[in-house]
Amino acid sequence: MTDDQKEHEFEILFEAEGRSVGKMRSEITVTRPGMAVSYEMATDEGEFHGGDDTAPPPLAYFATGFTACLMTQIRAFSKRMNIPVNGCVVKGRYRWTGRQKGREPYVGSPGGFSFDIDLDSDASTEDQFRLIEAARKGCFIDQTLSVANDVGHRLKVGDDWVEV
């Protein structure tokens, strides 16, 4: 078995710490443990949520991240699969529904996500399909949303962390 045929596994870890710094503004530091880089990002909500609209809302980052993840995999895998792509335009649609009774907090639910992908490529339609399928499988966000996930939440109570 050649090195190209050996299977290996790798882990990707990001950590984010957000701080409230205004009505609805949050400033978030995102790091990758073991790497010397960090990213500073801010979010805010519009008037509807009592914010000042000083930064993109969190769902805009979600949409940006999902679209960019898919585009990154298309370009990276086009090289690996020897399927030429000169450029691509990806248009994503992200839909959620909020349900609320009276003044109670609303409950959000996903309404679906979809992409229109326009590849500038001379490759056959079959090869372009193979590329998109590989990109979908390689996009960690696409794969995260394709399966049920457990999301843990803990609250700091005194010196302890308690599962919520």
Name the residue type at position 73.
Q
DSSP-assigned letters across all residues of 70-132 = HHHHHHHHHHHTT---SEEEEEEEEEEEEE--TTSPPEEEEEEEEEEEEEE--S-HHHHHHHH
Residues 34 and 84 reside in one and the same domain: no
Last residue of a domain, one of 19, 38, 56: 56
Report the pLDDT value the prediction gives residue 55, as an integer from 0 to 100. Answer: 94
Query: Based on the structure, what is the number of domains in the chain?
Result: 2
Q: Name which of 91, 47, 46 is nearest 68 in CA terms.
A: 91
The answer to whether 35 and 51 are in contact (CB under 8 A) is: no
Residues 52 and 82 reside in one and the same domain: no
Report the pLDDT value the prediction gives residue 45, as an integer from 0 to 100. Answer: 94
Rounded CA separation 58/28 (Å): 11
Alpha-carbon distances, residue 56 vs 41, 60, 139 (angstroms) = 9, 6, 23
Q: For residue 151, give the 3-state DSSP assignment.
A: coil
The answer to whether 59 and 67 are in contact (CB under 8 A) is: no
Report the pLDDT value the prediction gives residue 5, as an integer from 0 to 100. Answer: 77
| Predicted TM-score (pTM) of this structure | 0.87
Residues 35 and 87 reside in one and the same domain: no
- Encode the chain (164 residues) as per-residue pLDDT tens digits: 777 778 889 898 999 999 999 899 999 999 999 898 999 999 999 988 889 999 999 999 999 999 999 999 999 999 999 999 999 999 999 999 999 999 999 999 999 999 999 999 999 999 999 999 999 999 999 999 999 999 999 999 999 999 99
Place of tokens 């609250």: 155
The CATH number of residue 113's host domain is 3.30.300.20
Token duo for residue 1: 């078995």
Q: Which domain does 83 fall in, by range?
A: 57-164
Q: Name which of 58, 57, 87 is nearest 71 in CA terms.
A: 87
Strands across the sheet containing 15-20: 15-20, 26-31, 38-43
